[in-house]
Chains A and B, each alone.
Chain A
Amino acid sequence: MTPGGRLVARAVTGVAMLWMAVGFYSAEAGPPDPATIVVKDFMFQPMAVTVTAGSTVRWTNRDDEPHTVVSDTGIFRSGAMDTNETYSFKFDEPGTYHFTCSIHPRMVGTIVVTASP
């Protein structure tokens, strides 16, 4: 390898190690289990959550109006959640899961499940 090439290789390795370190740190300090989505003002807040496989996500309704959580592919379906009621689902498989409120289908959200570290 040329001296220039060696320098590039070291830089790339350095960046990769930094990246892994950051990634490792994020996995440790990631969203609490269960990750919480607040349903408020006719919105899922946040609209997108990323968790690792095996994590539980919990939805809590803070509106005066009931809401539901319905997976677009039928994998999970809450009943009607009245004010302050909750619904939880444990995501074992990595993937991207879109969901809607069946009472107010304009409301949408996404759970991204990454592989366990």
Chain B
Amino acid sequence: MSDARSLLSRRKALKCMAYGGAGTLFVLSGGVFAPVDLATADGYRKGSARAGTPLFVQISDTHIGFNKEANPDVSGTLAQTIDLVNGMADPPALIIHTGDITHLSKPAEFDLAQQLLGRLRVPEMHTVPGEHDTADPTVTEYFSRFGQASGNRGYYSFDHAGVHFIALINVLQFKPGGLGTLGADQLAWVEADLKGRSASTPIVVFAHMPLWTIYAPWGWGTGDADQLMAELRRFGSVTVLNGHIHQIVQKVEGNITFHTARATSYPQPVAGEGPGPGPLKVPADQLAKMLGVTGVSIVGHPRSLALTDTTIV
């Protein structure tokens, strides 16, 4: 990595994010996000060694079954997304889907989503449900298909390439009138799961709803996330990946990087602009530039994780 790269304040980093457009590479090193020029980001697409070793791609909010004006063809934009991922020069080893796989939790929607996602050449996919996946009356459709990894609890962990992955569910236990929560059982499980792990193990936590409060009036947050962060704070590199809001928002807090992904289905308004977090209609030629995936690579020594957001066009 270039030594000339300066460490920017978070405010400047967020400003750069606003101009990121088609693809923005931020490298996390020593707990601080700094932008790397887009030539390097292009190197990631072409598989340059400078961009690190691809670890996984995060896909989110595919909303199979949605058919309104904001995107009449979510299957088509998912197919475009899969072509993008399949076309990467250095393919990732894993796919992580951060939920809202379907729009209405219907069996036919799950079937179609699995059929479409089956076209990914990446052999391994790990999922967490969104609130649109747990909306059927008996809350069984998601778990009958994807519940095995977690014994139908929704939360689980696994290791890959020396990175510890923690999948969490925050769409089932909600406070009426308030935010979704992780719940005491899940938090106790995380504490037990992290016990004894070396602080130099890179940790990736993924869940559907943001694990920090972005905008509470629209439910963009998790009520008991502070307790989770208390468990994670001792680790040297923690990356928290969420979906749900259909746009990129991020922040860095010490060694913890928080990042939400674009959707592959439709964008949503910026917090507070409108009556609620519904689909945002944009001109047809702009839609694909607001949909995309997040690529995560292992870079540097000591190892840290780099995030790259790429749009489908």
The yes or no verdict on A and B being binding partners is: yes
Decide if the interface of chain B is mainly helix, strand, loop or mixed.
loop
Contact B137–A64 (Cβ < 8 Å): no
Contact of A106 among B105, B178, B278 (CB under 8 A): B178
Contact B180–A105 (Cβ < 8 Å): yes
Q: Which residues of A in the span 87-107 have a Cβ within 8 Å of any Cβ on B?
A: 98, 100, 102-106
Known contacts A42-B276, A64-B278, A106-B219, A80 near B135 by CB under 8 Å: yes
A41 to B277, CA, bound (A): 10
Contacts of A72 in B (CB 8 A): 176
Contacts of A105 in B (CB 8 A): 174-180, 219
A59 to B162, CA, bound (A): 50
Contacts of A64 in B (CB 8 A): 68, 70, 278-279
A83 to B279, CA, bound (A): 12
Q: Which residues of B in the span 147-203 have a Cβ within 8 Å of any Cβ on A?
A: 174-180
A83 to B136, CA, bound (A): 16
Contact A106–B177 (Cβ < 8 Å): yes
CB of B261, distance to nearest CB on chain A (Å):
19
Contact B177–A66 (Cβ < 8 Å): no
- A-B contact count, CB below 8 Å? 68
Q: Which residues of B in the span 51-81 have a Cβ within 8 Å of any Cβ on A?
A: 68, 70
Contact B135–A102 (Cβ < 8 Å): yes
Contact of B219 among A66, A82, A104 (CB under 8 A): A104
Known contacts A79-B105, A83-B68, A65 near B279 by CB under 8 Å: yes
CB of A59, distance to nearest CB on chain B (Å):
14
Closest B residue to A64 by CB, please name it: B278
Contact of B136 among A80, A82, A104 (CB under 8 A): A80
- Residue count of chain A within 8 Å CB distance of chain B: 22
Closest B residue to A41 by CB, please name it: B275
CB of B224, distance to nearest CB on chain A (Å):
14
Any A CB within 8 A of the CB of B309:
no
A102 to B179, CA, bound (A): 10
Contact of B104 among A63, A82, A104 (CB under 8 A): A82
Contacts of B104 in A (CB 8 A): 66, 79-80, 82
Any B CB within 8 A of the CB of A68:
yes
Known contacts A64-B278, A72-B176, A106 near B217 by CB under 8 Å: yes
Known contacts A42-B275, A78-B137, A102 near B131 by CB under 8 Å: yes
CB of B221, distance to nearest CB on chain A (Å):
11
Any A CB within 8 A of the CB of B218:
yes
Any B CB within 8 A of the CB of A57:
no
CB of B244, distance to nearest CB on chain A (Å):
11
Known contacts A66-B135, A80-B104, A80-B132, A108 near B278 by CB under 8 Å: no
Contact A65–B278 (Cβ < 8 Å): yes
CB of B148, distance to nearest CB on chain A (Å):
23
Contacts of A102 in B (CB 8 A): 131, 134-135, 174
Closest B residue to A104 by CB, please name it: B219
With A64-B278, A65-B279 known, 13 other A-B pairs at CB within 8 A are: A42-B278, A63-B278, A68-B135, A78-B137, A80-B103, A80-B132, A82-B104, A100-B177, A102-B174, A103-B131, A104-B131, A105-B177, A106-B219
Q: A-contacting residues of B (Cβ < 8 Å)?
A: 68, 70, 103-106, 131-132, 134-137, 174-180, 217-219, 275-279
- In the complex, 29 of the A-B residue pairs with CB atoms within 8 angstroms, ordered by the A residue number, are A41-B275, A41-B276, A42-B275, A42-B277, A42-B278, A63-B276, A64-B278, A64-B279, A65-B278, A65-B279, A66-B135, A68-B135, A79-B135, A79-B137, A80-B103, A80-B106, A80-B136, A83-B68, A98-B176, A102-B131, A102-B135, A103-B131, A104-B131, A105-B175, A105-B176, A105-B179, A106-B177, A106-B178, A106-B218
